[in-house]
Amino acid sequence: MLEDSQTDDSESETLLLFGRVLDGHGGGRAVNWDEARAWRPGKPGEVLWVHLCRNRPGAAEWLDRSLGLPEPTVELLTGEATRPRAFREGNAIVATLRGINFNPGAEPEDMVSLQIWCDGRRLVTLRRRPLQTPHAIMCDVDAGQGPVDAGAVITSLIEHMIARMNSSIVDMNEVIDVLEDADPGNDPEAMLDKIATIRRNCLALKRHMSPQHEALERISRDAPDWFEDHDRREIAETIDRLRRYIDDLDISKESAMVLQDDLRARAVARSNRTSYLLTIVAAIFLPLTFITGLLGINVAGIPGAADTDAFWIVVAMCAGILVMQLVMFWRWKWFG
């Protein structure tokens, strides 16, 4: 999976990961934490965007004191409840979204949350683990080709996060295609392990993507007036794309289940075939073993004990019984 390795990670211990004041024309200037806290709306079209690390000290206090947010909203933005949701609070949008975790050593289903608060002039995004999406949009702003207002930033964040989900789904589908073309006889246990992993990934991704679908619909439907019509249309397109991804997850999960059932059916068939062959062998040798065991008992009166031709007579009798059994098994279609 080829992804930009740069994230919004920061070596400093400050709450602010980065801050930008958008100029309304696709560009912006960087601001530090002191400038961000003292910022007031100035020129028309300016928007303050601060991206914070919510597990560093001071996040809840700043949201409460500087922005005057209600305590439940502060808890939502800084807490550990990361189920995707969105709602309108006065003239502001409050949302929790989730994206694919591309950090080293992470699994696709181990998704990363992004909290958003915006009133049209100030945009606050918060995360706990490093994210690539905010950094990518910040780079566009620095290059003068970024979003022009707060609604466009939110739309871009959503589009980037949803688009990145597609790569994980494509990777899972490619693995399923490889497994479908592979020989089931070559290490079926490893194939079953991969299929089980894919099924877990599908279930985990869908568990987060389904409520995210509802959250995006709330944003598109209930956003304040500063969220422009073209942003709503782009959100609607993203919702359709997310719905297709959810359908793809269902297809991937069903394909994995079919492949898993096929491998298990083949394993059961091989086991039954082996047991069947062992049963036939046992049925063939059971009467022969009985005869040789009967003639081998150490008691007086064994027929032919003094006859030099008795051995060959017993061999011929056993051969005759074997031939008779094979004919009977063939007529009964036991060899089918």
pLDDT recorded at residue 6 = 54
Distance CA 258, CA 192 (A): 12
Residue 222, token pair as written in the block: 């209930």
Reply yes or no on whether the pLDDT at 260 is more than 70.
Answer: yes
Q: What is the pLDDT of residues 287-300, one digit of tens each?
A: 888 888 877 777 77
Listed residue (89, 165, 159) closest to 124, CA to CA: 89
Q: What is the pLDDT of residues 270-284, one digit of tens each?
A: 788 888 888 878 887
| Of 9-18, 89-98, 248-257, highest mean pLDDT | 89-98
Please, which pLDDT band fits residue 251 given cuts at 50, 70 and 90?
confident
Q: Residue 61's CB: how many other CB atoms inside 10 A?
A: 12
- Stretch 243-249: mean pLDDT: 84
Residue 98 parent element (H or E) = strand 92-99
pLDDT recorded at residue 93 = 93
CB-side neighbour CA atoms (13 Å) of 286: 7
Amino acid making up residue 252: S
- Stretch 257-268: mean pLDDT: 81
Whole-model pTM?
Answer: 0.71
